[in-house]
Amino acid sequence: MSETKLIAYAVSDSTGKTAKHLMESAIGQFPDSEVQIKSFSFVRSLERIDEIIEKAKADNAIIAYTFVKTEMREHLNELAEKNNLDYIDMMDQPLNMVEKRLEVEAKEEFALKYKLDEEYFKRIEAMEFTLRFDDLNESKGIAEADIVLVGVSRTSKTPLSVHLSYLGYKTANVPLVPEVDVHPSVLENKDNKVVGLTIDPELLNDIRIERLKKMGLGDDATYAAKERINQEFEYSDSIMEEIGCPIIDVTDKTIEETAVEVLSYFNE
């Protein structure tokens, strides 16, 4: 196993998601490098900052942080500079911009607890729905879904469905298999909520071979055979053409990129 070349700290007086996502986005541009992210959430005292800086020194870490209190930001900045640690204050400029435009000083209060509001419950309901109707060719899920994904096996239907559900969309996904008839409501697509997924056949072949290896099976199984894959694509192409649904090629796309493309059809 290769050694970690860099350690990044995501520090916040709240959940730390913003700082962590920033680090993940930056690190994603260096796919061949080993980088570890350590999160420190609900940091609300100067003493806790002192402890984190000591850890950062030992790790020679870079630091991204979000603090609403000026005192805490200045304290971390001072210690980071004193210890020659690279850091980025993700709140200073946004706060200053808003203060300047509104001509009102920030209250500098710790983030309020998440409200269990309508959007929260909508997201939870969507996630439960999506897990319940994962990889099923069943009328209830198709009828109640906001989005229905169709495609052959290993075209990222499940992870994409889960991501869309986190965004609040009830998502059902239906596998397209030559030996199984697609439910009539999918073919009818009365609500125009079906989206097809496709992928480069060569890449799909590689993905399926890896899947078989993880399952402890040989790579010569029919599931990964090129003849079988071609047969499945012929079937899925014919089904998607019959439905008349938009088709997204997920080759070399991240789940997030595909989700944006899926939602673009509905936002239109």
Q: Would you say 219 and 209 are in contact if contact means Cβ atoms under 8 Å apart? A: yes
Residues sharing a CB contact under 8 Å with residue 262, sequence separation 6 or more, in sequence order: 147, 149, 160, 164, 195, 248
Question: What gap in Å lies between CA 246 and CA 175, rounded to an integer?
Answer: 16
φ/ψ of 227, rounded to 5, equals: -65, -40
Alpha carbons 235 and 196: distance in angstroms, whole number: 13
Q: Is 157 annotated as a binding residue?
A: yes
Ligand-binding site membership of 158 (annotated) = yes
* Residue 156 annotated as binding site: yes
Strand partners, 226: none
Cα angle, residue 167 at apex, residues 164 and 173 outer, rounded to 5°: 20
Residue 155 marked in a binding site: yes
Please tell me whether 214 is known to bind a ligand.
Answer: no
Per the annotation, where are the binding residues? 151-158
Per the annotation, where are the binding residues for ADP? 151-158
